[in-house]
Chain A
């Protein structure tokens, strides 16, 4: 992959803020989106990601700050005058039009003649893998996946420079979702357009994106490649959003560190790039936790009792009670712990696998 930093920014947000009455849905966002990238905004519901997308698409105007496209301010350019197009969460297909009429809608608006329109619609249907026989079909009679493709083809027919997606896969079953994710990624590569996608599922974001922005309570708290987000979450929230993790609070005690809410004797090894503060959180992914055999050592060790094991397909997750806390350990199936139930275990992790994060 070419380095994203070499590319020109297409969309830029500078100090963008959106308030509804007294409530700030989006707070002071600065962000550059580069030409041709697949950028995903993730966040839980209510984090402001939909509002942000609606501002980018031109359905809401920012209360403060500027949005520029190719360096030109577009704050007040309405949606129908922007070279951008949104695929709605509801898909927003016109129920009174056929598949073909839906796809042709933006062309009809532009005043393209009927024959050209039809040719283009059929081309687009091939691109999104819809059979040509669907041209005259009633959209309401199409399945979920087919509707998805119609919506995509309709957005492409508008020939936008930037395509926005508002959680379009949220109501689709798992298997089809996986297929559509890959198709969307392919489409991104084939069209070379800029894709901006929002979702509450980081898993979805990880699969498709070049870069990810994590939103929380109206703020963009981290922007980075999937690898960066996974390996170096900026805070506890991001690390927990990435997946199930062990979060351990540490307090400075004299020269060393003590674990909070862990059995009294626990002394922690100083965390990697230990902060100046008197307390910190370290995040340890379950796959970096391991059970220790007699005599085996790790930088940090704890004793506990296994009380649950879950199968995660190729891996197994163990829940271990350590004092009042529950720690998670994941092993590949081939390394499974025999007779795990109620077993007394010693578990440990190394400093290099633990990430220090802000609270």
Chain B
């Protein structure tokens, strides 16, 4: 029995490790290409150099694009978290007529191919005479990211005991006091992971930005434009930097969340 179980365990562990490896293999290839010397990529790498990293960080064009991406991601995060917080309460906390329908409506943009959504938004903007820019990209990102963040927060809301709010009301707290003293502190971990999701999903989004950012470029959009135009080592360099930045945000966010949790537990 134990042997049988062990065999299943080992198979599943090895398979998972193998798939994780495959998932990260292309990222490793990109990183490798970014530090190889020379205009063209060839393996095994003959010489390593940081020259393409330096060229990338020195480029004014790229720093503008990075600024755009950061701006879009930051604005998307702020708006998405606020909207999704209330959206999650409506999703999981309150019982109201039409909730089941609402739950499914929220999922629709997630279950919709982003390139088609991007083109549809582009068409809607032009029909309304709106010039596309980073601001229209923010809105486009939100259409997809708000539902995702709503789900992330809603999972936390399900675990939230409503009688705690009732108890606070009963003890004389006002609606606002209940929100700031009971609801928000308890849902904080969900909100924090929602914010991380919002920022990182916006940072890495390509299909929506491609059609809705107009003349403004973001990192993924710029990378794509260079990719189709022919090989440039700046593509792997910027791609690796963007990946590392996302990893840093994720790690930093998780760390900060853990520190806050620990400080509050003490």
Residues of A bordering B, CB below 8 Å = 58, 61, 76-79
Contacts of B3 in A (CB 8 A): 76
- How far, in whole Å, are A77 and B3 apart by their CA atoms in the complex? 11
- Chain B residue nearest to A59 (CB atoms) is B1
- How far, in whole Å, are A58 and B4 apart by their CA atoms in the complex? 13
Contacts of B4 in A (CB 8 A): 78
Counted as pairs of residues, one from A and one from B, with CB atoms less than 8 Å apart, the total is: 10
Q: Shortest Cβ distance from B50 into chain A, in angstroms?
A: 46
Q: Shortest Cβ distance from A61 into chain B, in angstroms?
A: 5
B interface, how many residues as a size bin? under 10
Q: Shortest Cβ distance from A30 into chain B, in angstroms?
A: 22
Residues from 1 to 17 in B contacting A, C-beta threshold 8 Å: 1-4
- How far, in whole Å, are A4 and B2 apart by their CA atoms in the complex? 34
Contacts of B1 in A (CB 8 A): 58, 61, 76-79
Contacts of A76 in B (CB 8 A): 1-3
Contacts of B2 in A (CB 8 A): 61, 76
- How far, in whole Å, are A272 and B3 apart by their CA atoms in the complex? 54
10 intermolecular pairs with C-beta atoms under 8 Å apart: A58-B1, A61-B1, A61-B2, A76-B1, A76-B2, A76-B3, A77-B1, A78-B1, A78-B4, A79-B1
Extra 8 A-B pairs, beta carbons < 8 Å, given A76-B3, A77-B1:
A58-B1, A61-B1, A61-B2, A76-B1, A76-B2, A78-B1, A78-B4, A79-B1
- How far, in whole Å, are A77 and B2 apart by their CA atoms in the complex? 9
- Chain B residue nearest to A78 (CB atoms) is B1
Q: Which 6 residue pairs spanning A and B have beta carbons closest together?
A: A78-B1, A61-B2, A76-B1, A61-B1, A58-B1, A78-B4
Residues of B bordering A, CB below 8 Å = 1-4
- Chain B residue nearest to A80 (CB atoms) is B1
Contacts of A61 in B (CB 8 A): 1-2
- Chain A residue nearest to B2 (CB atoms) is A61
- How far, in whole Å, are A78 and B2 apart by their CA atoms in the complex? 8
**Of listed B1, B2, B4, residue having the most chain A CB within 10 A:** B1
- How far, in whole Å, are A147 and B1 apart by their CA atoms in the complex? 30
**Of listed A58, A61, A79, residue having the most chain B CB within 10 A:** A61
- How far, in whole Å, are A114 and B1 apart by their CA atoms in the complex? 30
- Chain B residue nearest to A75 (CB atoms) is B1
Contacts of A77 in B (CB 8 A): 1
- How far, in whole Å, are A79 and B2 apart by their CA atoms in the complex? 11
Q: Shortest Cβ distance from A290 into chain B, in angstroms?
A: 49
- Chain B residue nearest to A74 (CB atoms) is B1
- How far, in whole Å, are A78 and B4 apart by their CA atoms in the complex? 9
- How far, in whole Å, are A260 and B183 apart by their CA atoms in the complex? 54
Contacts of A58 in B (CB 8 A): 1
- How far, in whole Å, are A78 and B3 apart by their CA atoms in the complex? 10
- Chain A residue nearest to B1 (CB atoms) is A78
- How far, in whole Å, are A76 and B1 apart by their CA atoms in the complex? 5
Q: Shortest Cβ distance from B211 into chain A, in angstroms?
A: 44
Contacts of A79 in B (CB 8 A): 1
- How far, in whole Å, are A58 and B1 apart by their CA atoms in the complex? 8
Q: Shortest Cβ distance from B245 into chain A, in angstroms?
A: 39
- How far, in whole Å, are A79 and B1 apart by their CA atoms in the complex? 8
Q: Shortest Cβ distance from A239 into chain B, in angstroms?
A: 39
Contacts of A78 in B (CB 8 A): 1, 4
- Chain A residue nearest to B4 (CB atoms) is A78
- How far, in whole Å, are A61 and B3 apart by their CA atoms in the complex? 10
- Chain B residue nearest to A79 (CB atoms) is B1
**Of listed A58, A77, A78, residue having the most chain B CB within 10 A:** A78
Q: Shortest Cβ distance from A219 into chain B, in angstroms?
A: 24
- Chain A residue nearest to B3 (CB atoms) is A76
- How far, in whole Å, are A58 and B3 apart by their CA atoms in the complex? 13
- Chain B residue nearest to A76 (CB atoms) is B1
- How far, in whole Å, are A237 and B239 apart by their CA atoms in the complex? 67
Q: Shortest Cβ distance from B6 into chain A, in angstroms?
A: 11
Q: Shortest Cβ distance from A57 into chain B, in angstroms?
A: 11
Q: Shortest Cβ distance from B111 into chain A, in angstroms?
A: 25
- How far, in whole Å, are A83 and B4 apart by their CA atoms in the complex? 19
- How far, in whole Å, are A314 and B2 apart by their CA atoms in the complex? 53
- How far, in whole Å, are A124 and B1 apart by their CA atoms in the complex? 30
- How far, in whole Å, are A79 and B3 apart by their CA atoms in the complex? 13
- How far, in whole Å, are A22 and B3 apart by their CA atoms in the complex? 21
Q: Shortest Cβ distance from B3 into chain A, in angstroms?
A: 7
- How far, in whole Å, are A58 and B2 apart by their CA atoms in the complex? 10
- How far, in whole Å, are A79 and B4 apart by their CA atoms in the complex? 12
- How far, in whole Å, are A305 and B1 apart by their CA atoms in the complex? 62
Q: Shortest Cβ distance from A96 into chain B, in angstroms?
A: 21
- How far, in whole Å, are A77 and B1 apart by their CA atoms in the complex? 6
Q: Shortest Cβ distance from A7 into chain B, in angstroms?
A: 28
Q: Shortest Cβ distance from B147 into chain A, in angstroms?
A: 29
- How far, in whole Å, are A299 and B53 apart by their CA atoms in the complex? 96
Q: Shortest Cβ distance from A24 into chain B, in angstroms?
A: 18
- How far, in whole Å, are A76 and B3 apart by their CA atoms in the complex? 9
Q: Shortest Cβ distance from B152 into chain A, in angstroms?
A: 28
- How far, in whole Å, are A76 and B5 apart by their CA atoms in the complex? 11
- How far, in whole Å, are A83 and B2 apart by their CA atoms in the complex? 18
